[in-house]
Amino acid sequence: MRIALDAMGGDYAPGPIVEGAVQAVLAQPGIQVVLVGDQARIEGELHKFPDAPRDRLPIVHSSQSIEMHEKPVEALRKKRDNSISRCWMLLATGDVKAVVSAGNTGAMVGAGLFNAKMFLPGVRRPGIAAIYPTHKGPAVVIDVGANMQPKPEDLYQYGIMGAIYAEHVLGVTQATIGLLNVGAEEDKGNDLVRDAQAMFRASRHSAKFIGNVEGRDIYEGNARVIVCEGFTGNVLLKSGEGAVEFLFAELKQELAKLLPRLSPEDARAVGGGIKELKARFEYAEFGGAPLLGIRGACIICHGSSDARAIKNAIRVASIMGEDRISAEIVASLADAPQAEAPVQE
């Protein structure tokens, strides 16, 4: 499988991006990673890895890149030869099965949404899925930023696509779906959420739908797919990231006071336990967030992604790029119930 990687995307590109690509092809003999970006800079990074299989790391040159601070739509229009758009062109022509980038998220999503032909049949608007840790294992939160003004049909589709992703990529058995809401009662929330709830209950996937989920209940893991509109999802995602950083920073300060009082063996045990706990919350484990609902696969990585995160993103992209997942999404959405028309006052 061929996967396009935006070598210029990320806070520290192209160094860790290229290193992650090298690690990925060494770990997965069946893939080829196309490095898209400034050829001279990419070549300079590849020279650091003399044992890298260069025949599986071809380069597609692009003369421009979109910086993190740039306005996505404006940058995409002014910089036609940017690395993100080049990746999407490779996917659109069928030259690759997936694209991966740690660059400007807005540009990455925008470049994909500009071409409706990239949407899977039956998909109205693709959505970004993020992975959340829970007591019962990883869960999917969708959408976290692609669609700020969705319709009930979008939320329904996000739930179905999120469940397929959870089952095929995260290994969840019979993924349950919940709607993020201000209360668990059926009559809570706005028209958007209530109409989406009705669609879930009227569909053939109703057995997977468990109803409304409050924000504090996400980590319980009763719903392995949590559905919301993009504005709320993005706030939820960044609040969660900030909370984790805050808690571990506080924990680090307290441990600095405690560890000197412990024996070397106990100190190592405590340190190892904290390291293992932190790993459960790290985005690097899954590499990035997939944009679900497109032909092929798209993985959007954190801007500060290191080589391990990029390697894992490429691994997930290789799974998502398989036609069987897209085929299941199309089949699952084929007979979706229609949203009820609003009552005219």
Domain boundaries along the sequence of the chain: 1-123+289-345, 128-232
Contact 43, 33 (CB under 8 A): no
Task: Domain 1-123+289-345: give its CATH architecture.
Answer: 3-Layer(aba) Sandwich (3.40)
Q: Which two tokens stand for residue 294?
A: 């497109």
Q: Any alpha helices (H) in 79-190, and if so which ranges?
A: 83-92, 105-113, 152-168
User: Among 243, 62, 223, 69, which Cα is nearest to 158's?
Assistant: 223
Per-residue pLDDT of the chain (345 residues; tens, 9 = 90+): 999 999 999 999 999 999 999 999 999 999 999 999 999 999 999 999 999 999 999 999 999 999 999 999 999 999 999 999 999 999 999 999 999 999 999 999 999 888 778 899 999 999 999 998 899 989 999 999 999 999 999 999 999 999 999 999 889 998 999 999 998 888 888 999 999 999 999 999 999 999 999 998 999 999 999 999 999 999 998 888 888 888 888 888 888 888 888 888 887 787 777 777 766 666 556 678 999 999 999 999 989 899 999 999 999 999 988 888 899 999 999 887 766 543 333
User: Among 49, 35, 120, which Cα is nearest to 291's?
Assistant: 120
H-helix or E-strand containing 4? strand 2-6
For 105-124, b/e burial (b = at least 16 CB within 10 A) is bbbbbbbbbeeeebbbeebb
Strand boundaries in 160-224, DSSP class E: 177-180, 209-213
How far apart CA 139 and CA 129 sit, in angstroms, is 10
